[in-house]
């Protein structure tokens, strides 16, 4: 089961609710900054953001996955 928080789905996982809220706020802030500059997150970035919020990956893992295609 999942609940919706803004644009992001929040399924029940092992992550602490306070940490989940912090991650959601951080992702929403970063997304807002992009939009203010007229940019949008790629589908890959959006998927990684969701996995980060869900506690499936760390911020470092998300960053590495996002940059991997450029670090060949």
pLDDT greater than 70 at residue 27: yes
For 42, the domain range is: 2-70
Mean per-residue pLDDT over the chain, rounded: 87
The token pair at 59 is 């911020």
Confidence band of 14 (pLDDT split at 50, 70, 90): confident
SS3 state at 71: coil
CA quadruple 40, 51, 62, 30: dihedral positive or negative?
A: positive
- Who has greater pLDDT, 44 or 9? 44
Q: What is the pLDDT of residues 16-25, one digit of tens each?
A: 999 999 999 9
CATH of the domain at 15: 1.10.8
The token pair at 62 is 């998300």
The tally of domains found in the chain comes to 1
């Amino acid at each position: 089961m999942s609940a919706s928080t803004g644009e992001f789905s929040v399924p029940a996982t092992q992550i602490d609710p306070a940490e989940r809220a912090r991650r959601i706020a951080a992702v929403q802030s970063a997304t807002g900054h992009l939009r203010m500059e007229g940019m949008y997150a790629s589908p890959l970035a959006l998927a990684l953001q969701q996995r980060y919020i869900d506690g499936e990956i760390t911020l470092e893992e998300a960053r590495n996955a996002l940059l991997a295609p450029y670090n060949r």
